[in-house]
Amino acid sequence: MKDSTPYISTTNNDLSKMFLEIGVNKIDDLYSTIPEKLRLNRDLLLPSPLKTELPLSEIELSVYMHEISAKNNSDYKFFLGAGCYNHYIPSIVNLFLKLPKFYSPYTPYKPETNQGTLQVMYEYQTMMCRLTGLEVSNASLYDGATAMVEAAKMASRLTGRNEIIISKSIHPEYRHVFNTYFRYGDWKVVEIGINNGTTNLKELEQSISEQTAAVIIQCPNFFGIIEELTEVAQIAHKHASLYINLVVEALSLALIKPTDFDADIVAGEAQSFGTHMSFGGPHLGFINCYNKHKSKLPGRAVTKTEDAVGKTAYMLWGAAREQHISRSRATSNICSNHALNALAASIYLSWYGNKGLEELADVFNMQTAYYAYEEITKIPGYAAAFTGSSFFNEFVVNCPHDVSALNKKLLEHSIVGGFDLGRFYPEYKNKILFCVTEKTSHDDIDKLADILTYLNEKGLR
């Protein structure tokens, strides 16, 4: 009979030997410092989701997990983006994420035993900076929303100012997270309105002041539109404020380089680079900045150095910014980050290379989205909601139906429809945000257009 529990090797025989060495008779002798009245003198009550009581065997657990994952019906055509993108992930990315030598080790505090991790991060930082045009990248943050929070705090430390301007065209959940954090402490957060799908620059000019630490604009914005970046930077810099370019669809970086438009800090979400949607997390937050700003950068970063015999080696840089050294004076409290997602991004970006990533972004996302846009806006009732601006792989159209009713109908055809903008913007009720990626074929788009046309004739019933 086996007397060990799954994942524990210690047998009863081992236990008695160890008890002898320690000089105790039973396990509870070791717990004597817990006051008697505070101990849990019963078993934990963990009701099983199945008829079988816990623990489950590997077979039972496997069957159960397969069953509930199948309830999620993931086999859809997605026209839904809105901050989480259904991109294809090359097999080689998935392979390396499953390597124990990558998924099991700890944070590389000790460089001698973690050179693999450290070089991965150094290469990742380099790739991100080449995409954004900046000089320094951290080695990952939790997600785009928390990266936006951290970037704003960084800007405040750099400028000594406490006012942050954010555009209403930023992802509503990001703004929600932002406003949650900035309720604590002495902050002023100003939201700028939208004009025809882009940030109202007039309003920005009127709102900015010598107290403004940073202006944060998302590009492509929540509606998929490429904002007027040059003008934003000019307005910000006139007041010696920093311009933070927030990027939520990182694939757009293959076509648009934020430093071409004078961004000071680029923060955002790089889930598009090799990380699954996985119901919204874990994804990949990032911040890039200039060298002159790096002392206030939150999160880990890796530097190249040498070992004792002059061979190239890597180590963590700038621990003085971090919580384990500086405690209450740290630039952030971040400790665990999303290193494995950064690994995925590095492999993903190496797999596509320059030409591949550009073709993927240009032809299979942007131009395919334009094709979808043309096909859908031909259908009566589906006029473009905003006009005159370029968009990347998402666009907004009016919807002649209640959006959620339409989406329920599309689901019957195994299509996950676009995002119902009315959910976050009451003024945009009956507007729908469609997303197209390389996983959307022309046939898929034609099929969607056919169904929308058909539903116009037949109604939603």
Partner 1 sequence: MEKENVTLIFKESQDGRAAYTLPKTAIKKKDLLGKYKRETIGLPEVSERQIAGHYQNLADLNFCPYSEMDPLGSCTMKYNPPLMEALASLPGFLDMHPYQDESTIQGALEVMYFLDLYLREIAGMAQFTLQPSAGAHGESTGIMIGGAYFTHKKEKRMKILAPDSSHGTNPASVTNLGFEYEQVSSNEQGWVDLGDLEKRMTEDVALFMLTNPNTYGLFDPNIDTIAEIIHRKGGLLYYDGANLNAIMGKCRPGDLGFDIVHINLHKTFGTPHAMGGPGAGPTGVVEKLKDFLPIPTVEKKGTKYTLNYSIEHTIGKVKAFYGNYSVLVKALAYILMLGPEGLKKVSETAVVHANYMQERLKKMGFSFPYGSQHCMHECVMKHENIDTLGHLLSEYFKKLQATIHFPEASCYMIEPTETETKESIDEYIEAMVEADKAIKDPTVMEELEKRQPFPPIRKINAKKGMARPCLIEKEE
- By CB under 8 A, residue 371 contacts partner 1: yes
What values do phi and psi take at 242, rounded to 5?
Answer: -90, 145
Count the residues in the chain.
461
Give the residue, chosen from 25, 195, 206, 278, that forms a contact with partner 1 under the rule CB under 8 A: 278
Q: Which is nearer to partner 1, 74 or 457 (CB)?
A: 74
Q: Which is nearer to partner 1, 87 or 165 (CB)?
A: 87
State the burial class of residue 422 (Cβ atoms within 10 Å of its Cβ: 0-12, 13-18, 19+): middle
Q: Which is nearer to partner 1, 64 or 239 (CB)?
A: 64
For residue 363, what are its two tokens? 């032809």
- By CB under 8 A, residue 365 contacts partner 1: no
Give the residue, chosen from 216, 233, 256, 266, that forms a contact with partner 1 under the rule CB under 8 A: 256
- By CB under 8 A, residue 166 contacts partner 1: no
For residues 433 and 385, give the distance between their C-alpha atoms in angstroms, rounded to a whole number: 10
| Beta-bridge partner residues of 316 | 302
- Minimum CB–partner distance for residue 237 and partner 1 (Å): 19
Map residue 146 onto helix, strand or coil: helix
Report which of 119, 459, 128, 426 is spatially closest to residue 269, judged by C-alpha positions.
Answer: 128
Dihedral in degrees, nearest 10, Cα atoms 89, 93, 95, 101: -150
- By CB under 8 A, residue 107 contacts partner 1: yes
For residues 198 and 218, give the distance between their C-alpha atoms in angstroms, rounded to a whole number: 10
Q: Are the CB atoms for 208 and 215 separated by under 8 Å?
A: yes
For residues 248 and 253, give the distance between their C-alpha atoms in angstroms, rounded to a whole number: 10
For residue 294, what are its two tokens? 């790096």
The amino acid occupying position 179 is N
Give the residue, chosen from 242, 265, 349, 445, that forms a contact with partner 1 under the rule CB under 8 A: 349
Q: Are strands 242-247 and 431-435 parallel, antiparallel or unpaired?
A: unpaired
- By CB under 8 A, residue 443 contacts partner 1: no
- By CB under 8 A, residue 255 contacts partner 1: yes
Give the residue, chosen from 164, 174, 274, 406, that forms a contact with partner 1 under the rule CB under 8 A: 174
- By CB under 8 A, residue 206 contacts partner 1: no
The amino acid occupying position 368 is T
For residue 3, what are its two tokens? 């007397």
- By CB under 8 A, residue 5 contacts partner 1: yes
- By CB under 8 A, residue 424 contacts partner 1: no
For residues 437 and 361, give the distance between their C-alpha atoms in angstroms, rounded to a whole number: 9
- By CB under 8 A, residue 387 contacts partner 1: no
Q: Which is nearer to partner 1, 264 or 269 (CB)?
A: 269
For residue 289, what are its two tokens? 């900045």
Q: Which is nearer to partner 1, 313 or 384 (CB)?
A: 313
- By CB under 8 A, residue 1 contacts partner 1: no
- By CB under 8 A, residue 460 contacts partner 1: no
For residue 374, what are its two tokens? 């043309």
State the burial class of residue 207 (Cβ atoms within 10 Å of its Cβ: 0-12, 13-18, 19+): middle
For residue 73, what are the contacts with CB-CB under 8 A and spacing of at least 6? none
- By CB under 8 A, residue 74 contacts partner 1: yes
- By CB under 8 A, residue 290 contacts partner 1: no
Stretch that binds partner 1, among 24-32, 209-217, 236-244, 449-457 (CB under 8 A): 24-32
Site string for partner 1, 391-420 (x = CB under 8 A): ----------------xx--x----x--x-
- Minimum CB–partner distance for residue 343 and partner 1 (Å): 7
- Minimum CB–partner distance for residue 186 and partner 1 (Å): 7
- By CB under 8 A, residue 25 contacts partner 1: no
Give the residue, chosen from 194, 244, 343, 421, that forms a contact with partner 1 under the rule CB under 8 A: 343
Count of residues that bind partner 1 according to CB under 8 A: 200
Give the residue, chosen from 1, 2, 47, 457, that forms a contact with partner 1 under the rule CB under 8 A: 47
- By CB under 8 A, residue 382 contacts partner 1: no
